[in-house]
C-alpha cells in the first residue's frame, strides 16, 4: 500500500525557510531529510529543487512547476504541473513511500491526501518568508517523537474513523444506495473535492498571513460563518414572513423576523428589508420603488468618492435614469452650499449620499433639508459606515433620510448581503398602493414590492441568518469599543503616514478609511503602489483621488482602512508600525529586498494576531 508523507521543518512561528535558500534551518535536519527519503519518491516544489543544486541521488525526484518544464526535465528528474499527477507517476513506478516537501501550496494540497507528517520542530523564531500552513490538529495524532541535536522530530498519522454499520435486513441494491446517500451527507469537502478544498485553504492562509487594509473588507466570526453555511441554504422562501408562496417556511420566517427586528432596533427605524442580495441590488430596488425611468439622480461623482450605483454612466443607475453628480472641493471636503445650489438648479427626484472613498462624515441633517427643499427623496447609502452608526460612534441618517441602504459585510462585520431601512406605514407587500395614497407615507410597501416580486426571487436564507448573527454581535457591549477602536486606529494610521510624508485627501479621516494622494511621487502610481505593498503582505486597493490628473484605469491614489485590522486586535502601536512600513515602501516601490524584509515582519505580526487558527467545517 502506498504511503504519502509530508516532511517539513518549522519553528515556533511555523517558518519553513527563505525562498532561493535551503528550506532546512540546520544541517542536522537536512541529514534527517536525506536519511528518511533515501530509496523513495520525493515530490518537491521548484524553489526547493533549485535550492538543492542537483537532483537527489537514489530517489525519484519529481518537481512541481507551472512553467518551463523543459528546463527541469533532466536525468533523474521528472517535471510535472500538479500534485495528483505526480503521485500517480510515483505509484506507477512502484514507489511505496512518497514524500512531499516544498512551499505552502504543496502542503495545503498535501493535507488532503497525506497519511503521515514527519515534522522537525525547531525551537525559537527564525527569519523566513515561507510558512507551514495551519492544519486541523483534530485529524492527526502523534505516533512517534524523536529528540535530535537542536530539534525534535514528531511523526503524525491521520486518524482513521471507523463507521459502525448496524445490520440491515434489506437487499444489497438498497444497501448500496443507502451507502451512497450516507456519503453524500457526511463526506467533508476536503475529501469530496480536494482541488476546491485546496483553493479555499489557500485563501484562508492568505488571509491569515497578510494584513488586510481594504476598508470595505472584514473578518466575520465563526458564528456568522456557521450561519451562512447552514441548512437554510436548502429552502426556497419567495415572499415575506407569514406571506410565502411555498410551504415549510415556519423556521425561515422566524430567522428573517429575527434579522428584521434586530435591524430596526440597531438603526432606529420602523421597517427593514433584509432580502437584497448585495448593496447594488439594494440601491436598484430603491430606485425601482421611488423613481420612473428618466428621473434624475443626484449623487456624489464616482471620481470624488461616490459609488457606481449613484448614477454613474456605465451603471444601470446612469443608463435608466438621468444623472447629475456633485463633487468635493480641492481640499477634499464637500461644500454643502454648492450641493444645495446644484440641487436647486437640477431639481432631482432623489439625492444620494454615501460612497467608497470619502474619508469624512456626511451632514445627513443638511442633506435631508436640501432634499426636502427641492421635493426630492433622500437616500443615505451607509454601506461603509453601518457598523459605526449601529455602535453610535458616528452620526446616523435615521430621521433625516427617507431611505437607508447598507451592505452587511464591511464595518458591520456580517456576510455579503444588504438591507434597506425606512419609516412609514406598515408594509403590505402583496398589495399595490390604493389610488391616491401618499407614496412618502408608504415607502415600506414600495420597497418590499420592489425587492420582491419586482427585482428578486427567493431570498438567500443562509445569508439572512448570517445577517441576524452579525446584528446580534453588533448589539453586544463589546461592539461599541470595537468601532471606537476602528476610528482610533484610522486616525493613528493617518497621522503616521502624514508624519512620513504621505499626503492624504482632506488631510486625514473622521472614520474608518483613508485616501492617500500619491501625486507628489508621480502621476498614476496607485496600482503600482498597491502591487508593491502586496509584495510585502500589505493589502490595499488603487483608487482615484479628487481632481486626479490620471485616468481611472491608472489612478493616482490608494485607499486604506482599519476595520479588518481592528477585528484582528491591532491597536495604535501596531498601526504606527504599519504606517511606517507603508511609507517606506511608497518611497521605494522598486525595492524588492525591502518589501521581502517587511513581508517577514508582516508574517510575524500576523502570527501575533491570528485569525481562523482552526479549520472551520460545516457540521
Return the active site residues: 236, 238, 381, 407, 410, 416
Cβ(412)–Cβ(466) below 8 Å: no
In 409-501, DSSP assigns E strands to 418-422
Cβ(461)–Cβ(252) below 8 Å: yes
Question: Would you list the DSSP string of 9-40?
Answer: EE-TT-EEE-TTS-S-SSHHHHHHHHHHHTTS
Bridge pairing between strands 541-543 and 557-561: antiparallel
Nearest to 59 by CA among 85, 40, 86: 40
The rounded distance, in Å, linking the Cα atoms of 240 and 172 is 46
Q: Taking the alpha carbons of 216, 217, 223, 229 in that order, is the dihedral positive or negative?
A: positive
Cβ(146)–Cβ(152) below 8 Å: yes
Distances (CA, A) of 346 to 300, 309, 353, 488: 14, 19, 16, 39
The rounded distance, in Å, linking the Cα atoms of 241 and 200 is 34
Give the bridge partners for 77, in sequence order.
61
How big, in percent rounded to 5, are the helix, strand and coil portions of the chain?
40, 20, 40
Cis peptide upstream of residue 453 (ω within 30 degrees of 0) = yes
Nearest to 467 by CA among 420, 398, 400: 420
Amino acid at each position: 500500500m502506498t504511503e504519502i508523507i509530508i516532511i517539513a521543518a518549522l519553528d515556533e512561528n511555523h517558518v519553513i525557510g527563505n525562498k532561493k535558500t535551503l528550506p532546512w534551518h540546520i544541517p542536522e535536519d537536512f541529514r534527517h531529510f536525506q536519511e528518511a527519503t533515501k530509496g523513495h519518491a520525493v515530490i518537491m516544489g521548484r524553489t526547493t529543487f533549485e535550492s538543492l543544486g542537483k537532483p537527489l541521488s537514489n530517489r525519484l525526484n519529481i518537481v512541481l512547476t507551472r512553467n518551463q518544464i523543459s528546463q527541469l526535465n533532466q536525468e533523474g528528474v521528472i517535471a510535472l504541473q500538479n500534485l495528483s499527477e505526480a503521485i500517480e507517476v510515483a505509484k506507477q513506478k512502484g514507489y511505496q513511500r512518497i514524500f512531499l516537501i516544498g512551499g505552502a501550496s504543496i502542503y495545503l494540497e498535501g493535507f488532503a491526501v497525506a497519511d503521515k507528517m514527519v515534522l522537525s520542530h525547531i525551537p525559537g523564531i527564525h527569519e523566513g518568508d515561507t510558512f507551514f500552513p495551519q492544519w486541523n490538529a483534530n485529524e492527526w495524532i502523534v505516533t512517534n517523537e524523536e529528540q535530535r541535536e537542536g530539534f525534535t522530530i514528531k511523526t503524525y498519522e491521520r486518524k482513521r474513523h471507523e463507521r459502525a454499520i448496524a445490520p440491515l435486513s434489506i437487499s444489497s441494491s438498497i444497501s448500496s444506495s443507502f451507502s451512497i446517500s450516507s456519503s453524500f451527507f457526511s463526506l467533508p469537502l476536503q475529501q469530496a473535492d480536494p482541488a476546491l478544498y485546496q483553493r479555499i485553504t489557500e485563501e484562508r492562509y492568505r488571509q491569515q498571513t497578510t494584513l488586510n487594509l481594504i476598508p470595505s473588507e472584514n473578518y466575520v466570526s465563526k458564528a456568522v460563518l456557521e450561519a451562512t453555511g447552514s441548512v437554510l441554504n436548502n429552502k426556497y422562501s419567495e415572499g415575506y414572513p407569514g406571506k410565502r408562496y411555498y410551504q415549510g417556511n415556519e423556521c425561515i420566517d422566524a430567522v428573517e423576523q429575527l434579522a428584521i427586528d434586530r435591524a430596526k432596533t440597531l438603526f432606529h427605524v420602523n421597517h427593514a428589508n433584509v432580502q437584497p442580495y448585495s448593496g447594488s441590488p439594494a440601491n436598484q430596488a430603491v430606485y425601482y420603488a421611488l423613481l420612473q425611468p428618466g428621473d434624475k439622480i443626484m449623487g456624489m461623482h464616482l471620481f470624488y468618492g461616490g459609488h457606481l450605483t449613484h448614477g454613474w454612466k456605465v451603471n444601470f443607475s446612469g443608463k435608466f435614469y438621468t444623472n447629475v453628480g456633485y463633487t468635493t472641493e480641492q481640499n477634499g471636503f464637500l461644500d454643502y452650499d454648492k450641493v444645495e445650489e446644484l440641487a436647486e438648479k437640477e431639481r432631482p427626484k432623489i439625492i444620494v449620499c454615501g460612497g467608497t472613498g470619502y474619508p469624512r462624515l456626511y451632514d445627513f441633517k443638511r442633506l435631508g433639508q436640501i432634499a426636502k427643499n427641492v421635493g426630492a427623496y433622500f437616500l443615505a447609502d451607509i454601506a461603509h459606515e453601518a457598523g459605526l452608526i449601529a455602535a453610535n460612534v458616528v452620526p446616523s441618517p435615521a430621521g433625516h433620510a427617507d431611505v437607508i441602504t447598507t451592505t452587511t459585510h464591511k464595518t458591520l462585520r456580517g456576510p455579503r448581503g444588504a438591507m434597506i431601512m425606512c419609516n412609514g406605514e406598515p408594509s403590505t407587500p402583496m398589495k399595490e398602493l390604493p389610488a391616491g395614497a401618499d407614496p412618502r407615507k408608504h415607502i415600506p410597501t414600495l420597497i418590499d414590492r420592489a425587492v420582491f416580486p419586482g427585482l428578486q426571487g427567493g431570498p438567500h436564507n443562509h445569508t439572512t441568518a448570517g445577517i441576524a448573527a452579525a446584528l446580534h454581535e453588533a448589539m453586544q457591549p463589546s461592539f461599541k469599543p470595537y468601532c471606537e477602536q476602528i476610528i482610533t486606529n484610522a486616525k493613528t494610521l493617518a497621522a503616521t503616514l502624514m508624519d512620513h510624508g504621505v499626503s492624504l485627501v482632506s488631510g486625514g479621516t473622521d472614520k474608518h478609511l483613508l485616501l492617500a494622494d500619491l501625486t507628489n511621487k508621480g502621476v498614476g502610481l496607485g496600482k503600482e503602489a498597491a502591487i508593491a505593498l502586496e509584495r510585502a503582505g500589505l493589502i490595499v486597493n488603487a483608487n482615484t483621488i479628487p481632481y486626479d490628473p490620471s485616468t481611472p484605469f491608472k489612478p493616482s491614489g490608494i485607499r486604506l482602512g482599519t476595520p479588518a485590522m481592528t477585528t484582528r486586535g491591532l491597536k495604535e502601536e501596531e498601526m504606527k508600525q504599519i504606517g511606517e512600513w507603508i511609507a517606506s515602501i511608497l518611497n521605494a516601490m522598486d525595492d524588492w529586498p525591502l518589501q521581502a524584509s517587511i513581508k517577514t515582519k508582516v508574517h510575524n505580526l500576523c502570527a501575533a494576531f491570528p485569525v481562523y487558527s482552526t479549520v472551520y467545517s460545516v457540521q
